[in-house]
Amino acid sequence: MNQSCFIPFNTSVDHISPPKQFTFPFYYEPHPLTIIAAKELQHYLKTQTDWEHNFGLDPKKRGLVIGKMFGVLVVENQHKELGYLTAFSGKLAGKNAHTRFVPPVFDMLEDNSFFIQGEKIVNQLNASLEQKLQDQAYLDCLKLVEKEKEIYANRLKVNKDLMRAAKKKRRERRKTGEATLNETNLNELKEALKYESLKYQYYLRHFNAYWEARLTKSQAKLDVYTNEINSLKAARKAKSSSLQKQLFQQYRFLNIKGEYQSLESIFEHTFFKTPPAGAGECAAPKLLHYTFKHSLKPIAIAEFWWGASPKSKIRKHGNFYPACRGKCEPILGHMLEGMDVEENPMLTNPALGKVLETIYEDEHLLVINKPSEFLSVPGKTIHDSVAYRIQQKYPNASGPLIVHRLDMSTSGLMLIAKNPDVYRLLQRQFINRSIKKRYIAVLDGLLTEKKGYVNLPIRVDLEDRPRQMVCYDFGKSARTKWEIIEQKDNKTRVHFYPITGRTHQLRVHAAHADGLNTPIVGDDLYGKKDRRLMLHAEMIEFEHPISKERMTVQVDPDF
């Protein structure tokens, strides 16, 4: 058996008990063994000279900056010795395989692989296509057709304008004749006007027929080239599709029961049917596949980010992260079959034992203080929520009750309507942005400015829900004002004033490199997990929909 990827611990771990169950990879606290393994791998990354890769940590280093997700999997070998495996997601230093790291499930970049050979054909088709697109004869024909169409359109417009003007004059002549001419002369005028109208119509038909023949002739010359171009595009598409399908079939993942399943078959039952780009190249599937293939016993897994963050997503250097859902959840669903895995904590109701505190109430509405880790509305697997509790407490209340939402992890004030009319009037205030809200948060670091404004558009990360990402192409406008309250112990307490209300807006604007670049304490999605997310909706100001009184409600956080 090839043991080259099995790495014994340099640090003594005899005093650390292994976990009783394997890590639930989509939400976990790193086990002490994986933390030690990660530190040893990070030491290697800092000191190695085996390859060159610009992680963006050294401003003097040149080349494209690419941060990477690395994974460690603590395993037990046949001699009952503990060690660990390491892996990276995607390519590292332009290669899929490196000494010390487990190999990819399938190395598409291996010399003379079908993928390399197939890519050569695709590249040849691309080169031929580019040559056709740059052919001067093709460009001349394309330019001629466009010019002819432009001339025809301009002349047609001129003719139609002349015809409209002539028609207007005929109408005026007819009207004058009806008022001044006798019947015989009027009939003669009408015949003359009719002849004139027919003459214009005949001319227009002749004009259109001439230009149709002229355009057809120039288009036919162009079609000789466009047919060749379209044929090359079709061939390229067919080859790329065939190559991709063959690639999906080559990625075959092993589980602890000895069962293989291809990437294609794993994803055929998912919503998108087709594997997303990069599926199977993440660290976790590589680590588990190697473990099962070499009869090692998996103990615990963890993944961490190394280097600069991507522009759109939020990744902090050295932080641990769960496996991504879009690419890895279907794959790991197969790979973890038959293993004793920790229970999914997201299936446990976080609101058990927590109560909703009523801050203000009258016959029309109420304002409640939602605890952290408490759903605003029912989720996919957990029904308990603010909406459910309110329905239970006010069974006679009608219509929508929840006027707005807070993230599950965010605590603070929520407006509740007791009837549809009040709901509609409060909703209108949110749409008009006449409702004022203020949040308080503790950031994990120190800010240099005293106050500011963040404007970063946000959309959901389709490959890793519920995370959000900054996207200037498809994101929705998201704007936040902020100001410092105090700074101490390397933490910054701030007020947030959201102008828009996007999902995770304050969390993303705090953590993103183009925002405050300082995550909120306890943010398990964009920062580091703590006892709770230090984000609280402390104040809301609105106009009472019935009394029209301007109301301000405030409640302090528990941090």
d(CA 152, CA 133): 26
Note whether 527 and 316 are within 8 A (CB).
Answer: yes
Cα distances (Å, whole numbers) of residue 490 to 387, 444, 485, 524:
38, 7, 14, 19
H or E element at residue 73: strand 68-76
Note whether 283 and 70 are within 8 A (CB).
Answer: yes
Q: Using the 8-state DSSP alphabet, how is residue 347 labeled?
A: G
Note whether 422 and 546 are within 8 A (CB).
Answer: yes
Pair of tokens at residue 318:
């050295």
Pair of tokens at residue 123:
């590249």
CB atoms within 10 A of CB 107: 14
Catalytic, 556? Answer: no
Of residues 407, 444, 464, 523, which has the active-site annotation?
A: 407
Which residues, other chains included, contact 150 with Cβ-Cβ below 8 Å and sequence gap of 6+?
Answer: none
Q: Which residues of 226-244 are buried (b: 16+ CB within 10 A; e: fewer)?
A: eeeeeebeeebeebbeebb
d(CA 313, CA 468): 8
Q: Using the 8-state DSSP alphabet, how is residue 542 labeled?
A: E
What is the identity of the amino acid at 463? E
What one-character-per-residue DSSP string does 454-511 give? EE--EEE-TTSTT-EEE-TTTPBP-EEEEEEEEEETTEEEEEEEESS--TTHHHHHHH
β-strands 68-76, 82-88 pairing: antiparallel
CB atoms within 10 A of CB 135: 15
In sign, the C-alpha dihedral spanning 415, 420, 426, 427 is positive
What one-character-per-residue DSSP string does 301-330 give? EEEEEESSPPSSS---TT-EEPPPHHHHHH
d(CA 507, CA 518): 9
Which residues participate in catalysis according to the annotation? 407
